[in-house]
Amino acid sequence: MTKPIAPARAKPSHKARKPEAGYHHGELQEALIAASEAVLAEHGAEGFTLREAARRAGVSPAAPSHHFGNAQGLLTEVAIRGYDALAGALRDAASRRQDAREKLHAQGLAYVEFALKHPGRFQMMFANKRLVADDSRLRQASRAAGREFEIIIAELVGGTPKQAKTAAAAAWSTVHGFAKLALEDKFGSVKSEAGYREIMTTLNHVMNYLWPASSARR
């Protein structure tokens, strides 16, 4: 079933060309990142192996080390892109609404959607032990994603920056916890389409409960 995938390699002359055979790969970084994301999508965070990623990129198991140092380095790059994508999804969701509360709700849905649609990548993003946790670019990307919540929350609650930070921590915790619990089947099976929709409506109820429409809650 999984036989040697045709190696995607760069043509010698100019590295902007289509991939063909050759000792040097040419675009190995990108190929490895893409391969890693594919492995994460298929086998989840626990099922990721460096050798499998290398295999899919058509190179030897030792090749990644020349570009990323080790598996943590490669996964860190994957996580950074994951955070970028997450931040984009959050910004996108908020931008489609007018009301601050609706923006927050949309962000919550987008967050959980992101987690449920890319479970492996999402779990890896929050698996510090498998990443270079103190990588500055990683930390920056993570904080940028968190800031998307803070922006909307500040708009919603007003108050001092400290209050906004608290409220943002609350929002992030809630949606993150919901996503994590959902991924571990605590709210039913995520596998089926019906289960997925049920989970998302549960999330909707949770958001309505914690951030209701009127200013007087409950």
Partner DNA sequence: TCCTCAATCTGAACAGTGTCAAGTTTACGC
Partner DNA sequence: GCGTAAACTTGACACTGTTCAGATTGAGGA
Residues forming contacts to DNA in the complex (CB under 7 A) are 6-7, 9, 12-13, 15, 22-26, 28, 48-52, 58-63, 65-67, 70-72
Q: Are 104 and 152 in contact (CB under 8 A)?
A: yes
> Which of 125, 120, 18, 8 is closest to 55 using CA atoms?
8
**By C-beta, is 14 or 205 nearer to a second copy?**
205
**By C-beta, is 66 or 96 nearer to DNA?**
66
| From DNA, a second copy, none, interface partner of 202 (C-beta below 5 to 8 A by class) | a second copy
**Chain centre to alpha carbon of residue 216:** 34
**By C-beta, is 48 or 68 nearer to a second copy?**
48
**By C-beta, is 38 or 170 nearer to a second copy?**
170
The span of 1-9, 17-25, 76-84, 168-176 binding a second copy (CB under 8 A) equals 168-176
- What does the CA dihedral 101, 102, 105, 111 come to, rounded to 10 degrees? -120
**Chain centre to alpha carbon of residue 191:** 19
For the CB of residue 22, give the shortest distance to DNA in the complex, in Å. 5
For the CB of residue 134, give the shortest distance to DNA in the complex, in Å. 16
The span of 55-63, 66-74, 89-97, 185-193 binding a second copy (CB under 8 A) equals 185-193
Q: Residue 175: left (phi > 0), alpha (psi -120 to 50), or beta?
A: alpha
For the CB of residue 46, give the shortest distance to a second copy in the complex, in Å. 4
Q: For residue 121, with 0-12 CB atoms within 10 Å meaning exposed, 13-18 middle and 19 or more buried, which class applies?
A: buried
177 lines the binding site for a second copy (CB under 8 A): yes
47 lines the binding site for a second copy (CB under 8 A): yes
> Which of 204, 195, 180 is closest to 107 using CA atoms?
204
**By C-beta, is 10 or 93 nearer to DNA?**
10
User: What three-state secondary structure class fits 84?
Assistant: helix
